[in-house]
Every structure is written in structure tokens, then in C-alpha cells.
């Protein structure tokens, strides 16, 4: 079984941009049920279909398969409005690879950082631009943002606290 272990943080400031490498992507959701999220992603000329299971903290089952780009475009059409566009930046910090997602469209203004871990208790040297942790906060999940974008958040919801 594929396993994803990741922590997510709101990003503060722009210091992460130095030396970062950008990649444009669009992703849509065929299912946003937290028990079985089904995502289709188009990155450049590559398509991917991903199935994710229910999260247990920072851990959940994840299965990802490359699909032809033409198929990914067709599948994105089936996603209706549940689509997220973003620029993903790869950033190195303390020997680790982070990704910083700078959302566009209806979620413009939201910037999240993620780090994938080998195990849930792995120590992480947080970069200075990693703000409050939002791991496990449902409203910050990409599938949730596809249905209710950042622009619909109240000021109170834009912080890590509050109900999900």
C-alpha cells in the first residue's frame, strides 16, 4: 500500500522564493469524500490520477498513477467546478525538499508549504517562512479548497484555529 506522511504549514513572507523552482499545475476532484479523495492532476505534459484514503493525523493511504495528458484533460472536464490551480515551487531547506503551493484563481493569496516525511515522528527543521501548522485542518486540504476556495474564507477561518 502507498502511504503519504506529510505536514503542512501556512507560509509567511517571501524568503522561500530565493532559488525556488516553479511548476504550474491544475488539479480537479472526482471525489472529495475524505474517506476516498480521487484527484486528477495535469502538470505540464503529464497527467496523474491519485486516490487518497482517510487521513490519520499526517498519514494516509495514497496511490498515484500516471495517465496520458489527453485523458487527464478529459477527466478534469468531469470535475466540474471542483478544480484548483496553483504554482508549485520546490524549495530546499536544511537538506530537505519542501514544496510551496502558491494558489491562483479563487484561492489566490493562499500559500501553503508541505514536507513529506519517512515516518510520522520524524523531526523537521522548520524554515523561517513556515508559519502556523495546518496539518489535519480539513479546510486547508486541496480537495476542500476546490469546493470552498480561500476567497470564501472569513478572516477568522484564514488562521489555523477555528472549526473545520
Rg (CA), the chain: 15
Any catalytic annotation for residue 65?
A: no
Catalytic residue among 9, 16, 29, 153: 29
CB 92 within 8 A of CB 98: yes
Cβ atoms of residues 146 and 82 within 8 Å: yes
Q: Residue 38: CB partners within 8 Å, gap ≥ 6?
A: 29, 30, 31, 49, 50, 51, 52
Q: Count the neighbouring beta carbons within 10 Å of the beta carbon of residue 5.
A: 17
Task: Give the Å distances, CA to CA, from 10 to 63, 131, 156.
Answer: 25, 5, 14
3-state secondary structure of 74: helix
Q: Which residues are marked as active site?
A: 29
Amino acid at each position: 500500500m502507498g502511504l503519504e506522511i506529510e505536514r503542512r504549514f501556512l507560509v509567511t513572507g517571501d524568503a522561500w522564493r530565493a532559488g525556488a523552482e516553479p511548476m504550474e499545475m491544475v488539479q480537479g476532484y472526482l471525489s472529495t469524500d475524505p474517506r476516498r479523495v480521487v484527484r486528477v492532476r495535469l502538470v505540464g505534459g503529464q497527467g496523474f490520477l491519485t486516490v487518497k484514503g482517510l487521513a490519520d493525523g499526517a498519514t494516509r493511504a495514497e496511490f498515484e498513477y500516471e495517465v496520458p495528458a489527453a485523458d487527464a484533460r478529459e477527466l478534469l472536464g468531469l470535475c466540474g467546478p471542483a478544480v484548483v490551480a496553483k504554482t508549485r515551487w520546490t524549495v530546499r531547506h536544511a537538506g530537505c525538499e519542501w514544496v510551496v503551493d502558491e494558489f491562483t484563481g479563487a484561492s489566490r493569496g493562499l500559500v501553503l508549504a508541505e514536507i513529506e516525511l519517512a515516518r510520522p515522528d520524524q523531526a523537521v527543521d522548520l524554515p523561517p517562512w513556515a508559519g502556523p501548522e495546518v496539518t489535519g485542518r480539513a479546510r486547508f486540504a486541496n480537495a476542500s479548497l476546490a469546493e470552498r476556495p480561500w476567497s470564501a474564507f472569513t478572516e477568522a477561518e484564514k488562521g489555523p484555529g477555528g472549526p473545520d
